Amino acid sequence: MHQIRNIVIVGGGTAGWLTAGVIAARHKGQREHGFTVTLVESPNIPTIGVGEGTWPTLRATLRKMGVSETELFRHCNAAFKQGARFNRWTTGAVDDGYYHPLMLPQQFGAVNLAPHWLAEDGADSFCDAVTPQGRICDEGLAPKTMATPEFDGVANYAYHLDAGKFSHFLQRHCCDTLGVRHVLADVTEVILDETGDIARVETAQGVSIEGDLFVDCTGFAARLIGDAMGVSFRSCTDTLFCDTALAVQLPYERPDDPIASHTISTAQSAGWIWDIGLPHRRGVGHVFSSSHIDVDTAEQELRAYLGPAGKDLPVRKLSIRAGHRETFWKGNCVAVGLAAGFLEPLEASAIVLIELSAKMIAEQMPVCREVMGVVANRFNETTTYRWGRIIDFLKLHYTLTKRTDTDFWRDNVRPESIPDRLRGLMELWQYQSPWIHDEFDRAEEVFPSASYQYVLYGMGARTAVMPGTIEADAELARRARRENHVQTQRMMSSLPGHRDLIDRIVKHGLQPI
């Protein structure tokens, strides 16, 4: 039996250090029995940030790693994220907008409020009718108070953070607390054994590093999974057209300017602009399709969005190759992060995919090489499913548009650009609202059916309500709607301002777990 004891992660950044932390924390008790986690990182290659937005899953991930939430805010320029607001995606009008919040609709496991809201055809948006979170974001409020313990919330939340500082924060915690071995070296060669597995990596510094399982976190270069293992890349540019981004860091005009507690995504002529508020600056970027607009015009749209304050700010250009590996775990090599693939940053799926992959590797770590193939097959099946569902969900934002003002928006609703599964679901949703028991067949979906409800009904889609179908749970729905009204009023009156809470956390600290 060839025991799996030495895990080697090649590449740092968010993907490398988050993976190292998840695995090391899970197997901390085995360190005295020879289990090791080694991260090899080049001192000469700058880290490519995977974005500044996260999902609520990161709270549980960091808690299991033993990270302090207070220290996260102090060292990573973190802010709270309570969802996303999408402006001008449906009609392109100035007042066109809706929220995809992180809170589930009231009593979501007991009653589907969507048909009841559809039957009323009331004045409230779907988001406001079923959750307080859109109103909380409108008022610039935080999702918790100073009395709320670390990682707990009054409202559900994730984070916005400085990706570079987050990587360094994770590095210190992994090395100082979790016993991860850090090797600064440039990998020059990946050596395979006679079975096709990776035996070791050689470095320019003369260090040879052997391992039983190798995790490829080398970013777009994919030095292990692509170059050494020969796994090909599956493009999805025929579905998701955006392939370029222009990013800029925009300082606040005043130190006490309010910080949005949600991502702002504003549609443009051939893409969209993200706007993420951190305590010290805003991260703003234009994601667009170079087949539909040239870089100069895209930059003009970005500058117009920024206003006079962004007139002379330097812009960083990034290329996006939308797609993922044909397989993610081959032999004793598994890809995580950009080495596995990347899609446009809409809905912040990059970091959550790192989390889910690292969690599955850690929890299903093969005891020996003899059973690694079984674990790899399971990992590949689950991960391929997740990438497919993310592609579906991102495409949904485009296929629901009513905009016809440019070729970009017209091309996005062409049937041949819509994945078959999504096309079938959209047909189903004309007559049956998404809900937990209907169409989602995995226990750990990246986007739950509630997310589909928020986007569908936020963008004006409608599901037919058949006569006699909502009477059975009408009283339960009325109670849930009343509860939402009461909860909204209570949160609006009790939650602090977003910047105010962040300042107090940095100064005084939250209650530890």
Q: Of 81, 144, 330, 395, which one is the catalytic site residue? A: 81
Cβ within 8 Å of residue 314, ≥6 positions away: 248
What's the distance, Cα to Cα, between the start and end of the chain in Å?
Answer: 41
The alpha helices in 307-417, defined as continuous H runs, are: 349-363, 372-399, 407-412
CB 399 within 8 A of CB 411: no
Which whole-number Å values give the CA distances from 77 to 72, 168, 264, 308, in the listed order?
Answer: 8, 12, 18, 25
CB 14 within 8 A of CB 354: yes
CA torsion 48→20→156→144, rounded to 10°?
-90
Which strand (E) or helix (H) includes residue 325? strand 323-325
Active site residue 359: no
CB 132 within 8 A of CB 484: yes
Radius of gyration of the CA atoms of the chain, in A: 23
Cα separation, 209 vs 199, whole angstroms: 9
CB 7 within 8 A of CB 215: yes
Cα separation, 354 vs 369, whole angstroms: 23
**Residue 478 corresponds to which tokens in the numbers above?**
């009325």
Which residues are known to be catalytic? 81
